[in-house]
């Protein structure tokens, strides 16, 4: 038999007795965590959307531009009425410009509208074209051009520049991928383009134009441009 503990107070003895009478009594449940109200959730969502909108706005104002391609001169890489995103010249200029880049540029002596072409040669490089064989040479080496529509046969005669030519400092030589249907640096009124007139580098197609050759709008073309 358990000896009574004379060291505890009567109040403590009474509490022990009451607990012994209710051995299976459950402990009080922890208070439920209150869920945030609907207006708080809406405010949080709106707050996040504002930050996203500000970020996208800054991105498209300073880093990216959206332009529409006009004409077939870059076919098959780009199609008339393609909408493309380009890296702005704020982040792409001078030494960033590389052979093979597709760029948007101004050609003030030729047209008020920007032109979309491919960089064939940069400052100090020598360009020559064998119009009979349709081969383009840069510094004596024939270019491997899987992106062109057909070999380069179009020559502008008296309206064209004279080959071979060496690209001046601060300039680039541009041509369209649709070589026989493109007004570009072969034409004297365009010639070598000052790099300060480069608006940016084409990164990807956002919305494809209607391909009249294939008679379709190919959404599979959405993506990077090379």
Q: Is there a contact between 80 and 68 (Cβ–Cβ < 8 Å)? A: no
How far apart are the C-alpha atoms of 53 and 41, rounded to whole Å? 18
Alpha helices in the chain (DSSP H): 10-21, 38-58
Q: Is there a contact between 99 and 138 (Cβ–Cβ < 8 Å)? A: yes
Residue (of 111, 119, 114) closest to 77 by Cα position: 119
Catalytic-role residue among 73, 88, 182, 185: 73
Using the Cα atoms of residue 162, residue 166, residue 167 and residue 168 in order, give the sign of their dihedral: negative
Burial class (CB in 10 A: 0-12, 13-18, 19+), 226: exposed
Task: Point out which residues pair with 200 in neighbouring strands.
Answer: 88, 104
How far apart are the C-alpha atoms of 145 and 161, rounded to whole Å? 21
Catalytic-role residue among 88, 117, 182, 183: 117
What is the separation of C-alpha 162 from the centre of its chain, rounded to a whole number of angstroms? Answer: 36
Catalytic, 117? Answer yes
Active site residues: 73, 117
């Amino acid at each position: 038999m358990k000896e009574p503990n004379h060291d505890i107070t009567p109040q403590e003895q009474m509490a022990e007795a009451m607990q012994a009478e209710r051995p299976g009594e459950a402990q009080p449940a922890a208070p439920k965590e209150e869920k945030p109200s609907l207006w708080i959730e809406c405010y949080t969502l709106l707050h996040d959307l504002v930050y996203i909108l500000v970020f996208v706005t800054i991105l498209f104002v300073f880093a990216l531009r959206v332009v529409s391609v006009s004409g077939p001169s870059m076919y098959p890489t780009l199609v008339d009425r393609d909408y493309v995103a380009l890296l702005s010249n704020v982040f792409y200029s001078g030494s960033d410009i590389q052979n093979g880049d597709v760029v948007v540029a101004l050609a003030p002596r030729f047209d008020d509208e920007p032109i979309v072409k491919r960089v064939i040669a940069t400052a100090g490089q020598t360009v020559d074209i064998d119009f009979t064989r349709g081969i383009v040479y840069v510094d004596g080496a024939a270019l491997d051009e899987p992106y062109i529509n057909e070999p380069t046969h179009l020559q502008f005669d008296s309206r064209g520049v004279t080959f071979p030519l060496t690209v001046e400092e601060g300039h680039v030589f541009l041509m369209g991928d649709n070589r026989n249907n493109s007004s570009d640096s072969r034409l004297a009124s365009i010639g070598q383009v000052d790099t300060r007139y480069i608006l940016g580098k084409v990164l990807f197609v956002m919305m494809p134009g209607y391909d009249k050759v294939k008679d379709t709008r190919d959404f599979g073309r959405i993506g990077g441009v090379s």
